[in-house]
Chains A and B, each alone.
Chain A
């Protein structure tokens, strides 16, 4: 096989330029750290942010790429993947400034941490566009293994070790189960690994009813549900969130989850297009359990990191409504909500990092009376939490409304009503924190707040933290009112993605044939 003529011309390697930029940044950081030693931690985070920013710019220029299918079908750079890759990169870009101070204060090496985080970002980005079983597996493992490493990064802290061990064991087990499902898919399709070819072959060989296909679907959903921490597969989430360094939690709750949703859309819509009813059914069950359990258990938490862990489980439940709806609006509301969720959740985590850096605790009761000592932190945390709860003028409200509206349009009345009820419950625990901070009298102040250190933004690493705090808060409070560009972006990406187009059209055809047949029944 003559490589240069037959293969190289079909690779379209430019499609992975954004990922290439991230990998080059990663190498720069590793080598820079080796050459310049610990002193390099002053400028390395900015190199990383610059690289990630360039990657976003590159993604922007990839929009409507004519050669979307690259590397002979292993990678698909369609607009859907571009949007999800954007979410992953953006979450890493906002996470890095908030980790500088946190990591330095714990005495660990910053450069290595950033390198691992960039690997996770690369893995997440490739996962969003992976169009082939091998590619899905490798990028998923890249994301997972670097997440385990980041979780255990505070290696002298038994909580961090324990969280890493639990995460690794549960994660590796779930990826083995996922892999078993993929191997069945490979066998059932008669030896294909490309998702599009699998989709066509699998219906030709098996029809739509097959025990093998059902088992493979269940195993694959188990793997995906672990990544997005949907309820029966959520046990790791609170432990890992409590035990890991907070910036890692911020990244896991947004970047890793977004990549999981991208994987869910691509894998289920293409390879399991013939079993839409079945996977909608499973996801409905997962969504109901996640919304109920996530919101109810969050009420009882005393640590704010654990509370946000359960809240993130519940939020995943809300996002699943868009996936189950399976319409244009459903998918674009998912993307819209994930964008907003990125900013409000990362904003909330920035506030938690700031508070724990100054007081050394993450207990909710210790936030009492914070308003008197630090109005800025109180304001930002309140805005982000209220937005997570879905209080009207904030961005989170518009995101939730859009999701629920899309679900209602698709006829998921029960699910949407449950979503409304559980989001009312969720407002309670978000408001509880806000009330704790604002309403308390000076004598009710907690010990940590009484000993609150003087606010000094000039310490090393505090400026970027402040910048990312204000950026996230401003976006959270304004994105609701100025949501039009985001809205158009998510709608466009769904409208111009071939895999979703064909899926939606077939669904509409089946629906219309059902309607036609019922009309015929009426006539007869």
Chain B
């Protein structure tokens, strides 16, 4: 088993996340894409931690922090999605044009 396999896998997941981020029209799906990107980062960190830093496993510590923050971010994001759904009755990203881009 080699480090590079895991890194390539993480890079693929990251790029899929970016694709979803840009093309999705549903706000909830955009949030899911962001979770994919964060998971790619976690995979990177745990991979590095196992192959480069096995004594201190700092990467795993970092991953636990990322998981914590990702959960908080998801909660806040979904609260905002709920608030906007209540006012606009839609979660289509293309409809959010009150403010000019």
Touching chains A and B, CB distance < 8 Å = yes
Measured CB to CB, the residues of A under 8 A from B are 133-134, 137-138, 141, 145, 148-149, 152, 155-159, 161-166, 168-169, 172-173, 176-177, 179-180, 183-184, 186-187, 190-193, 235, 238-239, 242-243
Find out whether the CB atom of A191 lies under 8 angstroms from the CB atom of B98: no
Total contacting residues, chain B, CB less than 8 A:
43
Q: Residue of B at shortest CB range from A177? A: B37
Q: Which of A149, A169, A184 has a CB less than 8 Å from the CB of B30?
A: A169
Find out whether the CB atom of B65 lies under 8 angstroms from the CB atom of A137: yes
Bound form: Cα–Cα A166–B27 in Å: 10
A320 shortest CB reach to chain B, Å:
24
Find out whether the CB atom of A190 lies under 8 angstroms from the CB atom of B52: yes
Chain B interface main SS type: helix
CB contacts (< 8 Å) of A162 on chain B: these are 84, 88, 96, 98-99
Chain A interface main SS type: helix
12 A-B pairs (CB sep. < 8 Å)? A145-B72, A145-B76, A148-B80, A159-B99, A165-B81, A165-B84, A176-B34, A176-B41, A180-B41, A187-B47, A191-B48, A191-B53
Q: Which of A149, A152, A173 has a CB less than 8 Å from the CB of B34?
A: A173
B31 shortest CB reach to chain A, Å:
7
Find out whether the CB atom of B69 lies under 8 angstroms from the CB atom of A190: no
B50 shortest CB reach to chain A, Å:
10
Find out whether the CB atom of B53 lies under 8 angstroms from the CB atom of A176: no
Q: Contacts A133-B62, A166-B96 given; indicate if A149 touches B87 (C-beta within 8 A).
A: no
CB contacts (< 8 Å) of A177 on chain B: these are 37
Q: Residue of A at shortest CB range from B57? A: A191
Bound form: Cα–Cα A149–B18 in Å: 24
Find out whether the CB atom of B66 lies under 8 angstroms from the CB atom of A137: yes
Bound form: Cα–Cα A186–B58 in Å: 9
* Chain B residues numbered 56-101 whose CB sits less than 8 Å from any CB in chain A: 56, 58-59, 61-62, 65-66, 69, 72-73, 76-77, 80-81, 83-84, 87-88, 96, 98-101
Bound form: Cα–Cα A137–B62 in Å: 9
Bound form: Cα–Cα A193–B53 in Å: 11
Interface string of B10-35 (1 = CB under 8 A from A): 00001001100100000100110010
A214 shortest CB reach to chain B, Å:
15
Find out whether the CB atom of B52 lies under 8 angstroms from the CB atom of A155: no
B20 shortest CB reach to chain A, Å:
10
Q: Which of B7, B52, B69, B80 has a CB less than 8 Å from the CB of A164?
A: B80
**Nearest 4 CB-CB pairings of A with B:** A191-B53, A161-B84, A176-B37, A187-B48
Q: Which of B38, B41, B47, B61 has a CB less than 8 Å from the CB of A134?
A: B61
CB contacts (< 8 Å) of A156 on chain B: these are 87
A236 shortest CB reach to chain B, Å:
10
CB contacts (< 8 Å) of A173 on chain B: these are 18, 21, 34, 37
Find out whether the CB atom of A183 lies under 8 angstroms from the CB atom of B38: no
Bound form: Cα–Cα A190–B37 in Å: 23
Find out whether the CB atom of B69 lies under 8 angstroms from the CB atom of A161: no
Q: Residue of A at shortest CB range from B39? A: A176
Find out whether the CB atom of A183 lies under 8 angstroms from the CB atom of B41: yes
